[in-house]
Amino acid sequence: MSEEPKPRRRQARGERRIAQLLQAAANVFCANGYTASSTNAIAREAHVSPGTLYQYFPNKEAIAIELGERLLHQMREAHGQAFTPENLALPLPGLLDAVVDPLIEFNCANPAFLALMHGSEVPGRIAEEHDELHATLLTRVQEVIAHYAPTLPAEDRLRTAGMTFAAFKGGLDLVLAAPEGAERDATIAELKTLLLRYLSPLVEPPVTESPSVQSPSVERPVTTTPSR
């Protein structure tokens, strides 16, 4: 009935330990996957005894869930600022920069995120929340497509959004596999090119007074700004 039957008062030290443990868990999960990671290994990575770990988490799954929720929250922030209305006013290449860069940035900075979300071995709870995020992102992409191609039938829009997102995920893996630096930047630019070429034929020119101008800008190998 009551929401919090355990009003355990945490000290500052405790909060620090939790953060420390979650960081260690992220490293270990990232290296070995969820199932193959032992709680003792996480405790060792955090320079802490197994008993201490279980003072803050009731079981192994809870560690993954807490870590997953924190990452998911950061992810939501990242994509929240990516899909702002003013970005929608941008031409397609600009929008791609505005949307793709933060998402890539986040996944580069938090490799544990994909490791935790992608496996079929993760506890069900994480999978559910990941599905929610997935659905949210898909909706956003659909909205963007609807904005650029208002006359596209809803069915086509859904299919296009799904494929756009799937291609992005594939490209994201490639970006993460590339070594940081120039090569990674080039891969990111290439991913944007892919998305631009895929979506360009769909955009309908905004209704203006001049009905003749119309150049989908797809002949040149488009280079969007390489971020930073």
Partner DNA sequence: GGCAAACACGAGTGATCACTCGCGTTTCTC
Partner DNA sequence: GAGAAACGCGAGTGATCACTCGTGTTTGCC
Q: Among DNA, a copy of itself, none, what binds residue 123 when CB lies within 5 to 8 Å by partner kind?
A: none
Q: Quote the CA–CA distance of 96 and 225 in Å, as a whole number.
A: 10
Q: Quote the CA–CA distance of 41 and 43 in Å, as a whole number.
A: 5
Q: Among DNA, a copy of itself, none, what binds residue 149 when CB lies within 5 to 8 Å by partner kind?
A: none
Q: Would you call 133 exposed, middle or buried from its count of C-beta atoms within 10 A (0-12, 13-18, 19+)?
A: middle
- Choose the stretch contacting a copy of itself; rule: CB under 8 A; options: 15-23, 40-48, 73-81, 211-219: 211-219
CB of 12 to a copy of itself, least distance (A): 35
CB 144 within 8 A of CB 84: no
- Choose the stretch contacting a copy of itself; rule: CB under 8 A; options: 1-9, 75-83, 124-132, 164-172: 164-172
166 binds a copy of itself (CB under 8 A): yes
Q: Return the number of the residue (10 or 134) whose C-beta is nearest DNA.
A: 10
Identity of residue 54: Y
CB of 52 to DNA, least distance (A): 4
Out of 101, 171, 184, 224, the only residue in the binding site for a copy of itself (CB under 8 A) is 171
DSSP string, 46-102: TT--HHHHHHH-SSHHHHHHHHHHHHHHHHHHHHHTTS-HHHHTS-HHHHHHHHHHH
Out of 80, 150, 205, 216, the only residue in the binding site for a copy of itself (CB under 8 A) is 216
Q: What is the DSSP letter of 220?
A: S
Q: Quote the CA–CA distance of 209 and 122 in Å, as a whole number.
A: 55
Q: Quote the CA–CA distance of 117 and 132 in Å, as a whole number.
A: 12
110 binds a copy of itself (CB under 8 A): no
CB of 138 to a copy of itself, least distance (A): 11
Q: Quote the CA–CA distance of 32 and 128 in Å, as a whole number.
A: 22
Binding-residue total with DNA (CB under 7 A): 25
Q: Return the number of the residue (17 or 157) whose C-beta is nearest DNA.
A: 17
Question: Site residues for DNA, window 36-75 (CB under 7 A)?
Answer: 37-41, 47-52, 54-55, 58-61
Q: Among a copy of itself, DNA, none, what binds residue 179 when CB lies within 5 to 8 Å by partner kind?
A: none
Structure-token pair, residue 6:
């355990």
CB of 120 to a copy of itself, least distance (A): 6
C-alpha distance across the termini of the chain, in Å: 51
Binding residues for DNA (CB under 7 A) = 8-14, 17, 37-41, 47-52, 54-55, 58-61
